[in-house]
Chain A
Amino acid sequence: MRSSELPLGNLCVLRVHDERIDGKVGAELAHAIADLVERGHPRIVLDLGRVRFMDSTGLACLVGSLKLVGRQGQLSVAGLQEGLQILFKLTRMDRVFPNHVTIEDATRAPKPAGV
């Protein structure tokens, strides 16, 4: 997986450069998220603007990361292309992943309670 980190105020943006997230890339992404949590970043925004396709195994890795971050932190997504929006809706993950249209929106979002 190719990704880059961008600390922005009280949150950290993890930008994914791959166009596809399957189980293999998803596992690497989950590892990168766990690493950020370990380094003390409670609020993480995944910039998925370049990702054109994600399958259920890739999404399952994100669900695992969401459980890891828990309610003491926040894992949100930004820049979802249409295919990913459909995936999140079909699986109802749009109910548990805060979804920002842009990274700027994410920076303006209110800090969740308990973080």
Chain B
Amino acid sequence: MARRTFIVESDLSASAAAVSRIGAFCRRNGVSGNMLAVIELCTVEALNNAIEHGHATTPEIPVEVDVDVDGSELVVEVRDRGLGLPAHVLRAAPRDVTWETLHTLPERGLGLVILRRAMDEVSYHVGAEWNSLVLRKHVGDATSARREKASPNLRTPQMKRERVDEERGRGREEQDLPAAASDREHARDHAEGE
């Protein structure tokens, strides 16, 4: 099991470098290929949300990211000390994207859609001191996923359910969350065993 805490400056231009370091840590612990790309994408989105929404008025406070890899599951926890996400960003938004729905699609909010569709589990907690966004992903078959170009292993339970729903001709709604953005890190890492 490997665990590390990354301290990231609350500046959107800091998140790319931070995620690059987080990605390197994941790679050293057996996550690779498409799975690694998904983890990096989701970490950027979560980090940028914390910077943009959590620390919009308190950029002097850094965001903390804990990454835990235990061989089969990867957990990323992003913590900020802001006011927490407003309830409206968690409300349902149209799930399907077609030419007919495109003009009604908000251009903000794609970030949390990505998290919900890519991760096995996304949870959000507002605490007295910290807000915490926790992302969980099964990565036990990450190595084989790299070999499989078609990457069927990347389908999350939600994506599989949606596919079944589509095949049955049923519509569903999914949660929409706020958007996110880019990168660079300022950093102090606490290695707790790699």
Q: What per-residue 1/0 map shows which CB atoms of A1-45 lie under 8 Å from chain B?
A: 000000000000000000010111000000000000000000000
User: What distance in Å separates the Cβ of A77 from its nearest Cβ neighbour in chain B?
Assistant: 15
Residues on A with C-beta less than 8 A from B114 are: 56, 87, 90-91
Q: Are A60 and B37 in contact (CB under 8 A)?
A: no
Which chain B residues (111-125) contact chain A, with CB distance < 8 Å? Answer: 111, 113-114, 117-118
Instruction: Tell yes or no: A108 within 8 A of B by CB.
Output: no
Which chain B residues (159-194) contact chain A, with CB distance < 8 Å? Answer: 179-183
Instruction: Tell yes or no: B91 within 8 A of A by CB.
Output: no
If A22-B182, A86-B41 touch, whether A56 touches B111 (CB-CB below 8 Å) is: yes
Who on chain A is nearest to B96 by CB? Answer: A92
Interface stretch, picked from B59-67, B76-84, B99-107, is B99-107
Residues on A with C-beta less than 8 A from B180 are: 55-57
* Interface of A toward B, CB cutoff 8 Å: 20, 22-24, 53, 55-57, 59-61, 63-64, 66-67, 71, 82-83, 86-87, 90-93, 95-96
Who on chain A is nearest to B117 by CB? Answer: A90
Instruction: Tell yes or no: B142 within 8 A of A by CB.
Output: no
User: What distance in Å separates the Cβ of B48 from its nearest Cβ neighbour in chain A?
Assistant: 7
Residues on A with C-beta less than 8 A from B44 are: 53, 55
* Interface of B toward A, CB cutoff 8 Å: 12, 16, 34, 37-38, 40-41, 44-45, 48, 95-99, 102-103, 105, 107-108, 110-111, 113-114, 117-118, 151, 154, 179-183
How many residue pairs, one in A and one in B, have C-beta atoms under 8 Å apart? 89
User: What distance in Å separates the Cβ of A16 from its nearest Cβ neighbour in chain B?
Assistant: 15
Q: How far is the CA of A61 from the CA of B95 in the complex (A)?
A: 19
User: What distance in Å separates the Cβ of B25 from its nearest Cβ neighbour in chain A?
Assistant: 17
Residues on B with C-beta less than 8 A from A82 are: 34, 37, 151
Interface centre among B107, B113, B179 (most CB of A within 10 A): B107
If A56-B110, A91-B110 touch, whether A96 touches B97 (CB-CB below 8 Å) is: yes
Picked from B16, B103, B151, B179, the residue with its CB within 8 Å of the CB of A60 is B179
Q: How far is the CA of A11 from the CA of B46 in the complex (A)?
A: 37
